Structure 1
Amino acid sequence: MKLKDNGQIAIDSADILKQNRYRFEIDTEDIVMGFAKTMKTTTRNVQKAINMIKKVCNDCGTFISPSVRIVSVRMYQNNELVKSLNA
């Protein structure tokens, strides 16, 4: 935060963008072998987070390989659950 001469507080846009931390947890299930796995990824970049949200929302419930499919997706912002999708 920076203080302007006239007493108003100005926040740099770069500071706002770096404040948030985005975390994604993607649960997958192998139909043939019968095991489940959770993939986790974290970013502070807003653009990467937006692209990831688009991708996981479209891919939830679909097969990512012949036997593995995405079962559920959880999205967190600053360790607070923002969105949860189940197939």
Structure 2
Amino acid sequence: MASAQRGLWKLMLKLPAMRGQLQMESAKNKALMGLCDAFDDATTALDELNRDPRSNAGLIREYETICSEIESEVIDLCINLKSRSI
């Protein structure tokens, strides 16, 4: 749960326009919290790779892509949830 919460905080910083919705939806949406957990894992791994000068550039790009894809999934999920509530 702590990892999902950290991921939520990171996403709230990264997506300030969706901050309120992320906060509300995270309390009731397990799929969103799963994405938050995955985002925390991926960003933590990316941070560690970026700190290590011996890291493989291809692996860094792969984790950058993973982080971006998770972020896109979160945006899509929030848009879909918002359109259902209208």
| Higher Cα radius of gyration | 1
Q: Do they superpose with TM above 0.5?
A: no
User: Which structure's residues are more often strand, by fraction?
Assistant: 1
TM-score for the superposition, normalised by structure 1: 0.28
